[in-house]
Every structure is written in C-alpha cells, then in structure tokens.
Chains A and B, each alone.
Chain A
Amino acid sequence: MSDTLLYQYGAFLRRKSRFLWLVAFMILLLALAGLALGPSDMGLQEGIRALLSGEDATHRSIMLQLRLPRVLAAILAGVALSVSGVVMQSVLRNPLGSPFTLGISNAAAFGAAFAVIILGAGNMQSNSSDAVLIANPYLVTLSAFLWSLLACFLILLVARKRGATPENMILTGIIASSLFTALTTGLQYVADDVELAAIVFWTFGDLSKSGWRELLLQTVILVPVMVYFYRNRWNYNALDSGDETARSLGVNSYRLRLTGMVMASLATAAVVSFYGIIAFVGLVIPHMVRRLIGSDERFLLPGAAMTGAAFMTGCDILARTVISPMVLPVGILTSLVGAPLFIFLLVKGIGASQWK
C-alpha cells in the first residue's frame, strides 16, 4: 500500500517535471526565433554561420551586438521578474505580491532616474529609445536597489504592523507607486527637453538598452540571488503554512521573509535599473504557473523562472515584429498581453490542469 502511495506521489511530481521540460523547449524555440528575427533580413542559419565562422563581419556584429544580447536580456529579465513575484507572494503570503503591484519597480525606476539625472551616472543623447547611455551602471543599479529597498521596507513595516492582508499590501503598493511616480515626475519637471524625453523613453521598459556589460552585471547579481531562492524553496513552502507553524517546523520565518524581500528587490532593481519598468510579468507569470503546476516552490520557482523567460522572449519578438521595422518597447507589450491574461486568469481560471 505504501508503495502505491509513493508511486502516485512520484507520478504527481513527474507530471510537474514534464511541464518544466516543455517550457524549457519553448524557451529554446523562442530564443532561436528571437535570433532569427530583426530589421535586417539575415536568417538564423546565416546568423549562426557568421557567429561560428566569423566570415561576415556585419552579420556577426548584428548577432553579437544586437540579437544575442537582446534575447539573453529578455530571458534574464523574465527570470528575475517572475521569480521575484513568486518570492514576494510567498514571503508576504499574499497573491497580489509582485515587484510592480508593491511599488518596488517604480521605486527602482526612480532610483535609476535619480542616479542618471542627479548623480550624473548617465549621458543623455537624443530623444530616441537609446537616449540614455549608462556611464556608470554600478551607481545606477546601486541607486535603484537602495530606493527599491526603501519601498520594500515600507511594505515590510506595514505587513508587520497591520498584517500582510491583500488590502493592506495593495494599498501600500498604490501609495508607494504614486509616491515614486511623483518623484520621477518631479525629476522630469526639472529636466530639460532632451532629458525629459530621455527619462520618458527610459521608463518605457525597453530591452534595446541591453549590452554585454549590462548582461554581465545582471548575471553577477542574479545568479547568487536565484541560488539563494532555490536553496530556500522548501522553506518557502513551510512559510505558506503561517509564521507559527513555519517556526515550529524549524524555519526562522522572520529572517527568511526579510532576506527574501531584500533579495527580490535586488533582482527587480537589476532589471529595472537597466531596462525601465516592465509591468505584469512578476504578477501574471507566477499566477499562471501556480494554476498550471500548483504552488510547491520546488517546481514553482523553476517553472515561473522559465515561463517568465519564455513570456519575455515572446513579447520581445512581438515588440520587434508587430510594427516592423519600428521596435516597440517591450514594457508596452508585457502590459498589453499581461493585463488581459491576468483578467482571464481571475475570471475564468485555467482550472484543473493535467500537470497539477
């Protein structure tokens, strides 16, 4: 009898693993599509040949400087935002947690704009999407992180004093968002025309700002953060049972919650400080994956990371092709796709899934 139960549970886990493999395959397909598409008519085969042989310098340059960093940026941003959303929801025990709804994205965006305009960490060039050249990415990320921490502590303070109820969290998020949007608007007010256009473009959420230096810095930040989250996957499951139960199961819930929020803010800042605000990914993807494979963090964390990566890569492909040769900022696409998707999840739901 015991063997039957163990077999059933094993089959239950294997179904979830199958979902992870399927999404991994989707990422591969989307990444290849992302490498194949662009304003230049270079196909995937030519691009890969140019990359490997180095014969065609133009094609090689398009691949190395434009398409590859962009695809990698989409994957990293998708992973960081989705996983941050999962962790924020878990540590606050609140389904409305996400970097965007809690105002952390806006705080990070303000921090980045603050570093660029006030601290002189960036140069303004023109009113196009690549208007801001980040001269000092470390300062921008640090500033974005520190301001996002401020929003994070505000959330934790309210959660500690009044409880992390959906109402409290969403109200605090609205207030934090409004506050940091007002501060960013304040910066826009004192900026000159070119700077103003640059800040507006900057806040759109655009992957065209991605380059190897940014990717390297993001990787250096995100890898330890993701390892930390994955290492605590089982503890996050315990945290969902409530503080007292988690503690009685041997989990230091206070430290886990605090570190989780700080790490999630850092991951958000690592994305927002380079690409601007990319809304809805951190909210929609965790919910979608929860509905598909359940809330066991052992599968939810990698599942959300990979689905987020696939979603962002897909949205970026759309952003590049929908009104080609013009490229839309991907932040517009994630909201346009994410908002109806979230409403669909709320109203209809996906219900019992074969992977659950």
Chain B
Amino acid sequence: MISLEKIHFAYNGFPVIREVTCRFSRGSFTAILGPNGSGKTTLIRLMNGILFPQQGRIRIGGKDISGFHTRALARQMAYVPQMQQNVFPATVFDTVLLGRNPYIRWSPGKNDRIVTSGIIEQLHLEDIALKDINRLSGGQRQRVFIARALAQEPEIILLDEPTANLDLRHQHEVLGLLKELSRSGITIVMAIHDLNLALKYCSGFMILDQGRQVATGGKEIFSESLLEKVYRVKVKLIKEENETYILPVEPL
C-alpha cells in the first residue's frame, strides 16, 4: 500500500504538483490521467523517489520513503520508464536479471537466475531470452521491462506511459498483463494518456490538471463536464453494457 499526503513539488519555483493526496491499496490498478504538462510523470517520479517532494509525505506500508535505503526501496517498488534505449547491447535474460539487483551483493547467484528464468517463462519471453533487447519490437521490449520489474519482487510497480509507441494489439497485451499482475496482489500505478484504455483496464483513476488533483476514484468520476474542463475538448461519454467509452468530438 502506498499513500501520498499533501504532496507539493515545484521546478525552479514553478509548482508542478500541488497538494496531492491519495491512497493506492494493495492489488489496485490505478491510472494517473491528465493533459500534457499536468504533472503525471512528475508524480510517478516523486512516488519512485527519483524526485523529492518539497512538502508532504509519501509512505509505503506506513513508512516514509525518504527513510528507505535505495536498495530497500527497490525491493518494495519497481519502475518502468517511458522510453529506454540501452547504449550497449544486453540480452533479455540479462536485462530481467538486473531486476534482482536489490538482492545482489556482488554478482547474481543461482537463485537469481532461477527467479529470472521463471519470470521469463511467465511472460512468455523464453524464445527471445538471449536476443539483444535493442532489436526487439516496442511491445516485446515493454514486456521485458515489466519482467525486470517483476524480478524485483516488488509490492508496487510504477509505470510511465507503458503503451506509448505501441500498436493497438500490444497496447492491449501490455495492459492485460498489468491487470493480471494487479489481481495477483501487486499494486500498479501508471501515468497514461489514453482515457479509453485506462477505463477498460484500471480499477482506480486520478485526474490531474496543472498539478492539481481534480478527481480521484472509480469510473464514476468521469463526466463530460469534467473532461471538457480538464482537456478543453468537447467529449461524448458513451456507456454500453458495463463499459464506458470517451469520444473526443472537437477542441473547445
């Protein structure tokens, strides 16, 4: 469980995150939504300990993350960045094995290799296990990075735009996988642009606008007026059976 209490963060005096408060319970799958520049990525970075809030607290299991050692934090929480291109080639196996880093003192041991190979199989990556990750498709690479996050055996996984640059099929595959992981008890928080994908797969939502938390909750928070105010686009909310779809009509 991870909680944010009145988080405030500013770049060069310009506030980017203002008084954000939220609780992400165990096994929840939450989308952080909002237009460009609303503070989604900054919030993910704050939660991950890459940035430090100027005010407020972030706690994992009741303990402030600033009190965690970097390695101890890495055992609790994994991060999948938006874009990652290795400068030098690395195999899929070695990349996933890197996820064992918080448990490794000198160099990976037999147990680390066993955990890694189990995760590679769980995510059906065994056929490409010895391939260079820079030569994989965007979808395959994203699965590899999620596998690396799983190798950390974390309670929480944070993702920044996990579906960026992926085609439709891979978008659904990646989010389906994340939903499956959340069902196994891992708390998942991701920043994402696509409202419809978020609505289809996530159980919780937080909408940010200019660093302010304008709505937090389940599907019920979505309304045409809220979305029009935040995105400055005329939208139509379509409800069909149990699904909700958002159709952007025209800019306001």
* Docked-complex contact A248 and B50, CB < 8 angstroms: yes
A245 at interface by CB-CB < 8 Å: yes
B74 at interface by CB-CB < 8 Å: yes
- Known A242-B81, A244-B81: A249·B113 in contact at CB below 8 Å: no
CA distance A296 to B102 in the complex (A): 18
CA distance A12 to B91 in the complex (A): 11
* Docked-complex contact A248 and B48, CB < 8 angstroms: yes
Interface string of B67-93 (1 = CB under 8 A from A): 000111111011101001011111101
CA distance A294 to B133 in the complex (A): 13
- Known A2-B114, A249-B99, A298-B107: A244·B94 in contact at CB below 8 Å: no
Residues of A within 8 A of B113 (CB): 6, 9
Q: How many residues of B contact A (CB 8 A)?
A: 42
A345 at interface by CB-CB < 8 Å: no
Residues of B within 8 A of A6 (CB): 113-114, 117
Which of A8, A241, A250 meets B74, CB within 8 Å?
A250
- Known A238-B101, A249-B102: A2·B86 in contact at CB below 8 Å: no
Among the stretches B27-35, B118-126, B184-192, B229-237, the one at the interface with A is: B118-126
Interface residues of A in 210-248 (CB under 8 A from B): 231, 233-235, 237-238, 240-242, 244-245, 247-248
* Docked-complex contact A242 and B84, CB < 8 angstroms: yes
CA distance A238 to B90 in the complex (A): 11
Of A94, A249, A290, chain B has the most CB atoms within 10 Å of the CB of: A249
* Docked-complex contact B74 and A295, CB < 8 angstroms: no
- Known A234-B101, A249-B101: A8·B50 in contact at CB below 8 Å: no
* Docked-complex contact A5 and B87, CB < 8 angstroms: no
A120 at interface by CB-CB < 8 Å: no
Residues of B within 8 A of A298 (CB): 107
Interface residues of B in 135-160 (CB under 8 A from A): 152
* Docked-complex contact B49 and A95, CB < 8 angstroms: no
CA distance A8 to B118 in the complex (A): 14
- Closest Cβ of chain A: how far from B128's Cβ, in Å? 11
- Closest Cβ of chain A: how far from B90's Cβ, in Å? 6
Which of A9, A93, A94, A249 meets B98, CB within 8 Å?
A249
Which of A2, A9, A89, A240 meets B90, CB within 8 Å?
A240
- Known A1-B121, A290-B88: A248·B79 in contact at CB below 8 Å: yes
CA distance A242 to B88 in the complex (A): 11
Interface residues of B in 94-116 (CB under 8 A from A): 94-95, 98-99, 101-102, 104, 106-108, 113-114
- Known A2-B114, A2-B117, A5-B126: A244·B50 in contact at CB below 8 Å: yes
* Docked-complex contact B86 and A251, CB < 8 angstroms: no
B226 at interface by CB-CB < 8 Å: no
* Docked-complex contact A240 and B86, CB < 8 angstroms: yes
Residues of B within 8 A of A95 (CB): 87-88
- Known A244-B81, A250-B73, A298-B107: A9·B86 in contact at CB below 8 Å: no
* Docked-complex contact B106 and A241, CB < 8 angstroms: no
B130 at interface by CB-CB < 8 Å: yes
A178 at interface by CB-CB < 8 Å: no
* Docked-complex contact A250 and B102, CB < 8 angstroms: yes
* Docked-complex contact A295 and B117, CB < 8 angstroms: no
Residues of A within 8 A of B129 (CB): 5, 8-9
A252 at interface by CB-CB < 8 Å: yes
Instruction: List chain B positions with a Cβ less than 8 A from chain A.
Output: 45, 48-50, 70-75, 77-79, 81, 84, 86-91, 93-95, 98-99, 101-102, 104, 106-108, 113-114, 117-118, 120-121, 126, 129-130, 152
Known: A235-B101, A249-B152. 9 other contacts (CB 8 A): A6-B117, A9-B129, A12-B91, A12-B130, A93-B87, A234-B104, A242-B84, A294-B90, A296-B91
CB-defined A-B contacts under 8 Å, sample of 7: A8-B130, A12-B91, A89-B88, A234-B106, A241-B98, A244-B50, A247-B49
What 9 pairs across the A-B complex have the smallest Cβ distances?
A: A250-B74, A248-B79, A295-B88, A250-B71, A250-B102, A249-B101, A5-B117, A93-B87, A2-B117
